[in-house]
Amino acid sequence: MKTNFIDYVEIEVKAGKGGDGCTSFFYDRFSHFPKPDGGNGGKGGNVIIIADENIHTLLDLQYRKRFVAENGHHGEGNYKKGEAGKDCYILVPVGTLVKDAQTGFILRDLTQPGEKVIVAKGGEGGRGNRPRKPATPGKLGEGKKLILELKLIADIGLVGYPNVGKSTLLNRISSAHSQVGDYPFTTKAPVLGRVEIEDEEFTFTVADMPGLIEGAHRGKGLGHTFLRHIERTKILLHMIDISESAGRDAYDDYLSLNKELFLYKPDLKEKKQIIVANKIDLPGAWENLERFSRNLKEKIYPISALKGEGIEQLLQAVKETLS
């Protein structure tokens, strides 16, 4: 499957070597002995990973896998210190976990825009020669293999069977352009959108997910690859197609989708869900809704993502749950 959303890459990082200390002597015409005047070497550059709000995928790192910082410059005569090597920066999306590939140890979870971590330290520069002390070479920079794993950070995760209208809803409530189509698995990777409730200065982020199907937790369909992206959402918006055209029972769909989620990760049981019955504009929808609500004690929000019905009430519920 081809997608531009990449959430797992392995890369190699190498910090710069410290510059060598210089061996140099100054010959003073008034003294018999030459004076050592070698400058110190500059420090090697670090490799630094930064979380950047404008980056949404690890795609670029698929093509460039090795990141090397500059070596420190060597010291020179007349006590001239070598310049430090330039740092090497790697930009990643907010929500990227940085792990040591060898040990699996998490070096940092970059959850804030602008947050950074030095993943490979540059080597110290060597010392220039001193009286009775010869110059020393610069130290090597650290080198590592890293795993970068993106786990999206969003307030809301939009989950449901394929084709129920998740992307239609995201597009209606945010400025995102998630692809919509009358066929399953239109959405092939998570899409993030920011929702602003007018006049209320309340904003939240929504992650539209690929549709889930039975067996998703075992790897069936597309959804499982991306299930990890709902782990860090605060609320799940669980969408059901309530129209007759789906030819399925809403309550069965609701139970089996939850079963998939909980089989994938039992902790997800603790996550609050808002249940949304979509396509209320289609024939048979209200009758289905009545049957569905007889089975379920939780509140159900009937909406038409296509026509814009019931959206205000839903957004209010989201706001109340989040605040």
Ligand X SMILES: Nc1nc2c(ncn2[C@@H]2O[C@H](COP(=O)(O)OP(=O)(O)OP(=O)(O)O)[C@@H](O)[C@H]2O)c(=O)[nH]1
The region of 101-109, 184-192, 224-232, 267-275 touching Mg ion under the rule CB under 5 A is 184-192
We find the least distance from the C-beta atom of residue 52 to ligand X, in angstroms, to be: 27
We find the least distance from the C-beta atom of residue 181 to ligand X, in angstroms, to be: 5
Contact (Cβ atoms closer than 8 angstroms) between residue 7 and residue 134 = no
- Binders of ligand X in range 180-219 (CB under 6 A): 180-182, 184-187, 210-211
Residue whose CB is less far from ligand X, 8 or 185:
185
State the Rg of the chain over Cα.
28
Q: Which helix (H) or strand (E) holds 170?
A: helix 166-173
Binding mask 142-171 for ligand X (x = CB under 6 A): ------------------x-xxxxxxx---
Spatial distance between the Cα atoms of 316 and 198, rounded to a whole number of angstroms = 11
Q: Give Cβ neighbours of residue 199 (< 8 Å, ≥ 6 apart).
A: none
Taking CB under 6 A as the criterion, the residue among 42, 279, 289, 318 binding ligand X is 279
Contact (Cβ atoms closer than 8 angstroms) between residue 9 and residue 65 = yes
Residue whose CB is less far from ligand X, 182 or 199:
182
The DSSP result for 251-298, as a single string, is: HHHHHHHHHHHHHH-GGGGGSEEEEEEE-TTSTTHHHHHHHHHHH--S
- Binders of Mg ion in range 144-173 (CB under 5 A): 166-167
278 binds Mg ion (CB under 5 A): no
278 binds ligand X (CB under 6 A): yes
Residue in 158, 159, 164 with CA at minimum distance from that of residue 247: 164
Residue whose CB is less far from ligand X, 148 or 195:
195
Residue whose CB is less far from ligand X, 98 or 156:
156
Binding partner at 305 among Mg ion, ligand X, none, C-beta below 5 to 8 Å by kind:
ligand X
Residue whose CB is less far from Mg ion, 85 or 211:
211
225 binds Mg ion (CB under 5 A): no
We find the least distance from the C-beta atom of residue 253 to ligand X, in angstroms, to be: 12
Per-residue exposure over 224-253, b if at least 16 CB sit within 10 Å of its own CB, e if not = bbbbbbbebbbbbbbbbbbbeebeeebbeb
Q: Give Cβ neighbours of residue 17 (< 8 Å, ≥ 6 apart).
A: 44, 71, 72, 85, 122, 123, 138, 139, 140, 141
Q: Which residues bind Mg ion (CB under 5 A)?
A: 166-167, 186-187
Residues of this chain that bind ligand X (CB under 6 A): 160, 162-168, 180-182, 184-187, 210-211, 278-279, 281-282, 304-306
